[in-house]
Amino acid sequence: MINEVTKTMTAADYAAQYGLNRVGARPSLVSYLKQAWGRRDFAYELAKSRLQSSNQRNRLGMLWVVIKPTMNAVMYGFIFGILMGGSRGADFPVFVVIGVFLFEFFSGSVSSGAKAITGNAALVQSLAFPRITLVISAVIQQFLTLVPMLVVMYLYCTILGTYPRWSWLMLFPLLVLFTMFNTGMALICARLTVHIRDFTQILPLIVRMLFFTSGVLFGVDRVLNAFPGLVRMFDFHPIYQTLQIARGSIMNGVEYPSFYWIVLAVWGVVALVGGTIYFWAAEERYGRVD
């Protein structure tokens, strides 16, 4: 009787009996996150090495980390300063510097995160590890890029007449929430790119649209004061809220509703949790990326 049962068992049955899983099988979410946490050093070192290598070929090296956003702030600030005329506000240069520098962190996170899987096909196909590590590494790289940018941003704000105060420290908890949001968006973009390769062509247009519609270069209450309903919608815009909290913490005379912190915290948690689950659900697909 035992021999008959044994003969009818397949290789898959034996694998299940002895706890063997197929290559690339998706683990449970808890196990997946534990594996990713165990490879946190790999994610950090990969981010650091890629940041260094990305600037080694340039004569100015790491200086481009701050030169690029500085040039963007000068260019867009000059153009929009002329277009907005008297409605731009007295501290418009500081306003633009904060907006451009912080938005650079968002755009870099989603753009590099979107290519984290498809841009590392050889690594994904040859080694077994939680693929979320690659996306996290991409966001870490952007955060490491942001650190010197923040130093220069504070320096510019001081030169432009906004002097240091204790509220400047509020940028630290703000960046925690913003990083959570950016990571969630990067995870969503990474999976979308695997399913729809053309998404990498569409993403720059989406990012550019967000750049011009998130209050990076203009005060929403000043430009859209004739449309109070539209202004109200910005109270639930995570990027706009991040910029306004940062400006309210650094600039003089800029205020924002205190509930912005609550809404942004909700955005950060929902984006991170939702993005993680959405990315994990397709883990088996990433090993077959081509």
| pLDDT, tens digit only, all 290 positions of the chain | 445 544 566 655 544 554 445 555 678 899 999 999 999 999 999 998 888 877 666 655 667 677 777 787 778 777 766 655 555 666 788 888 999 999 999 999 999 999 999 988 888 888 888 999 999 999 999 999 999 889 888 988 888 888 888 999 999 999 999 999 999 999 999 999 998 888 989 999 999 999 988 988 887 877 777 777 888 888 899 999 999 999 999 987 778 889 999 999 999 999 999 999 999 999 888 876 55
Token reading at 51: 């940041």
Q: What is the pLDDT of residue 89?
A: 63
Phi, psi of 128 (to 5 degrees): -95, 115
Token reading at 261: 């912190």
Which of 163, 115, 143, 154 is closest to 286 using CA atoms? 115
Q: What is the CA radius of gyration of the chain?
A: 23
Token reading at 276: 């993680």
Q: What is the pLDDT of residue 284?
A: 85
Token reading at 80: 């929009």
- Statement: the pTM of the whole predicted model exceeds 0.85: yes
In whole angstroms, how far apart are CA 290 and each of 8, 120, 213, 238?
Answer: 37, 10, 35, 34
The sign of the dihedral angle between the CA atoms of 218, 90, 257, 266 is positive
The sign of the dihedral angle between the CA atoms of 127, 130, 132, 134 is negative
Q: What is the pLDDT of residue 58?
A: 62
Could you tell me if 105 and 142 are in contact, meaning their C-beta atoms sit under 8 angstroms apart?
yes
In whole angstroms, how far apart are CA 201 and each of 112, 115, 120, 247, 278?
Answer: 13, 11, 18, 32, 21
